[in-house]
Homo-oligomer: A and B are copies of this chain.
Amino acid sequence: MSKQNIQIAPELAVSEWFNTAKPLTLEALRGKVVFLHSFQLLCPGCVAESLPQVRRIERLFTNSDLQVIGLHTVFEHHAAMTPVTLKAFIHEYRITSPVGVDRADGTSDIPVTMRRYGLRGTPSSVLIGRDGTILHQAFGVEDDMAVGARIAMALAQPVSDATDEAVAGGCEDGRCAVSPDAA
């Protein structure tokens, strides 16, 4: 991949966290691989396919330095998918990794992080490398085998290499040139 194609993952904008004592930021997770999955609790494909796959990811990579993060990106039926309902949903579906509520800023039905990544809908996933770059972004659910292979390849990249590449990618002082918010 040539340098001009490298895209630093935009920071998360989260109004409320579940399953974590303190808020997470991608910046603080630099050096780890991040699997970010976007869902809505009333999205049939999320419930039937992507969330079960997330559980399989958590189980398989349990002892690696992969960080799984859920993002509740509500872009429709806002009154129906409140944090109260989400909390019960997380309990019933036994979701154990951190889940953030994508921040609504009142300017759009689409929440902030979803806009930053240009996600087309739910379920979506973003694989972020140790250097903070987006390695893969997908709308819909992909085959387990491809997902496993992609995460393994991301984990196989040495931490030191990752840091070097991040600099090359143009990300400094927590601000990233290619981020939609940087404009």
Most chain B CB within 10 A, of A57, A80, A89, is at A80
Of A7-15, A17-25, A150-158, A171-179, the one contacting chain B is A150-158
Q: How many copies does the complex hold?
A: 4
Count residues of A near B (Cβ-Cβ below 8 Å): 34
Q: In this complex, what residue of B is CB-closest to A80? A: B88
Task: List 14 contacting pairs A-B, 8 Å CB cutoff, sorted by A.
Answer: A42-B85, A60-B143, A77-B88, A79-B84, A79-B88, A80-B84, A80-B85, A143-B148, A144-B145, A145-B145, A146-B148, A148-B148, A149-B149, A156-B156
A residues engaging B (CB < 8 A)? 41-44, 47-48, 56-57, 60-61, 77, 79-81, 84-85, 87-89, 91-93, 143-153, 156
